[in-house]
Amino acid sequence: MLKFIPLLIALLAVTVPAIAQERPTSSGSASNRGVMRFDTNKDGFVDRTEWRAGQEARFKQLDANGDGKLSPDELVRRPAGATGVLPTDAQNTRQSRFFQRLDTDKDGFVSLAEYMAEGDRRFARCDTNKDGRINTEECRQALRR
């Protein structure tokens, strides 16, 4: 059980901020934040195709130098609007472990295939009813397990 704690922490570090950002708009429709930002057909759910397209787009966004792989700095870099506050030692440790977990071939980079494999694992975890579609509530339920 203890060996799964770093995995859970890394998953929460990546997923919770995206879910926490999600708020209904004034019209009551789903937001374009969190997991629902991948809902391209606006049906209120993200299917596996939408999820994978979103993950590929995110990989390309993170790949600052366009070399087709993510360095540790590219994967965990701070957004342009960051506060300028340096991460704590605990945050650095979590980020390092997350990178190491994604870098399955241990070459010091995360390839698109490695990144997509992690995305597939996250989708499967959120798809609690196994219908091939996820939404914010399903992901919240998955995080509570």
Residue 134's DSSP bridge partners are 46
pLDDT, tens only, 11-58? 445 554 444 444 444 444 445 678 999 999 999 999 999 999 999 999
* Residue range(s) defining the domain that contains residue 63: 2-14+47-79+87-144
Q: How many domains does the chain have?
A: 1
Q: Provide the phi-psi class of 42: left if phi over 0, else alpha when psi is between -120 and 50, else beta.
A: left
CA 27 – CA 44 distance, rounded (Å): 14
Percent of the chain with pLDDT over 70: 74
In a domain, 126, yes or no: yes
In a domain, 29, yes or no: no
In a domain, 104, yes or no: yes
Phi first, then psi: what are they for 46, rounded to 5°? -110, 115
Task: Read off the CATH number of the domain in which 138 is found.
Answer: 1.10.238.10
- Cα-based angle 94, 98, 102 (whole degrees, multiple of 5): 170
User: Would the CA dihedral through 29, 139, 20, 65 be positive or negative?
Assistant: negative
